[in-house]
């Protein structure tokens, strides 16, 4: 019997995760089915019950359900416990759910070459917190979070009260130029707002990292091309976290280069 895997989330029809895990399975000589579990909040109890009954060997979890997953697993890895977010669930022989956070590896892949200096994080969700925790853990000390929710920012600020600052989106539009590095953790639904900002004013930027991917993301990022800037979408983060999830479920590690080739080939063909 092959592996039954999946991705839990909302509005995930364009996810590249099925391509990633099917490629990984082929490379490792395994049979695997990876399905999209696109559900509304009231359907989550049914997903949890199906997991415990063995419908899937394991699943990934994406926005907006990572904190829900954290609250509904029996055991959590230390990264998941620290971030209060689970993006990888496995099921043991007793039907217990084990939660990990492999986003940490994906974020590390994107952020490992950042220079010192002021860093701006757009958004305050679970991926923003993962980026913040990774940066603080690697001794970056000038970090500003742009968000709308003061309660959520206060929660994030507890990680390093002296190093983490806040700015509103209204204030930000006129101060973009002071941030050499910008990390976008806002969902794709925010691109209309981002498009309206005066990006031409931020001449000092060294790097722009966007955790999203797809045609809309690539179109947005074209404005930052050139001038020696480092510009990345979220595909490499997806690949890194996905491989770690696959290893956790199967015990097999596929070659990253081959998985990346399969994923990026499909990614570049999408609008």
Instruction: Examine residue 64 and say whether the peptide bond preceding it is cis (omega within 30 degrees of 0).
Output: yes
26, 250 Cβ separation under 8 angstroms:
no
55, 157: one domain: no
Domain CATH code at residue 28: 3.40.50.10860
- Number of domains comprising the chain: 2
User: What is the pLDDT, as a whole number, of residue 271?
Assistant: 55
Does 218 score more than 70 pLDDT? Answer: yes
135, 48: one domain: no
109, 187: one domain: yes
54, 115: one domain: no
171, 75: one domain: no
210, 179: one domain: yes
Please name the helix (run of DSSP H) or strand (run of DSSP E) that holds residue 182, with its range, or none.
strand 181-184
152, 77: one domain: no
229, 240: one domain: no
Query: What are φ and ψ of residue 5, in 5° steps?
Result: -130, 170
Which tokens go with 15?
A: 């996810």
pLDDT digits (tens, 9 = 90+) for 200-211: 645 678 999 999
CA distance 32 to 268: 24
pLDDT digits (tens, 9 = 90+) for 73-121: 999 999 999 999 999 999 999 999 999 999 999 999 999 999 999 999 9
222, 250: one domain: no
Output the CA–CA distances (angstroms, integers) from residue 233 to 24, 210, 267, in the order listed. Answer: 21, 5, 11
Domain CATH code at residue 172: 3.40.50.720
User: What is the pLDDT, as a whole number, of residue 225?
Assistant: 84
pLDDT digits (tens, 9 = 90+) for 117-146: 999 999 999 999 999 999 999 999 999 999
With H, G, I as helix, E, B as strand and everything else as coil, classify residue 141. Answer: coil
Return the closest-CA partner of residue 47 out of 91, 103, 82.
91
DSSP string over 126-195 = HHHHHHHHHHHHTT---EEEE-S-HHHHHHHHTT-TTTEEEE-HHHHTTTGGG-SEEEE-S-GGGHHHHH
255, 142: one domain: no
Locate tokens 């990614």: which residue? Answer: 267
State which residues form the domain around 240.
3-101+236-269
91, 130: one domain: no
Angle, CA of 84, 86 and 88, to the nearest 5° = 165
Q: Quick one: how far is CA 271 from the chain centroid? A: 20
126, 186 Cβ separation under 8 angstroms:
no
Residues 6+ apart with CB under 8 A from 228: 206
218, 245: one domain: no
**What percent of the chain has a predicted confidence (pLDDT) above 70?**
97
In the chain the first and final C-alpha atoms are separated, in Å, by: 36
């Amino acid at each position: 019997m092959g592996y039954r895997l999946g991705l839990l989330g909302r509005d995930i029809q364009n996810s590249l995760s099925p391509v990633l895990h099917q490629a990984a399975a082929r490379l490792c000589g395994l049979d695997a089915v990876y399905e999209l579990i696109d559900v509304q909040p009231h359907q989550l109890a049914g997903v949890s019950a199906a997991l415990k009954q063995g419908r899937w060997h394991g699943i990934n979890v994406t926005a907006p359900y990572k904190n829900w997953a954290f609250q509904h697993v029996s055991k959590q890895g230390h990264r998941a416990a620290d971030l209060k977010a689970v993006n990888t669930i496995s099921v043991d022989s007793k039907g217990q759910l084990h939660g990990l956070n492999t986003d940490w590896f994906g974020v590390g892949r994107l952020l490992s070459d950042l220079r010192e200096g002021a860093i701006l994080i757009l958004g305050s969700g679970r991926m923003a917190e993962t980026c913040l925790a990774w940066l603080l853990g690697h001794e970056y000390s000038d970090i500003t979070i742009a968000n709308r929710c003061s309660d959520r920012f206060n929660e994030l600020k507890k990680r390093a009260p002296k190093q983490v600052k806040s700015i509103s989106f209204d204030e930000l539009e006129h101060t973009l130029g002071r941030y050499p590095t910008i990390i976008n953790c806002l969902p794709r639904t925010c691109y209309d707002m981002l498009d309206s900002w005066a990006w031409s004013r931020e001449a000092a930027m060294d790097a722009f990292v966007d955790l999203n991917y797809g045609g809309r993301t690539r179109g947005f990022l074209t404005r930052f091309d050139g001038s020696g800037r480092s510009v990345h979408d979220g595909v490499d983060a997806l690949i890194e976290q996905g491989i770690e999830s696959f290893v956790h479920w199967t015990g097999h590690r596929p070659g990253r280069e081959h998985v990346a080739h399969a994923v990026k080939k499909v990614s570049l063909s999408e609008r």
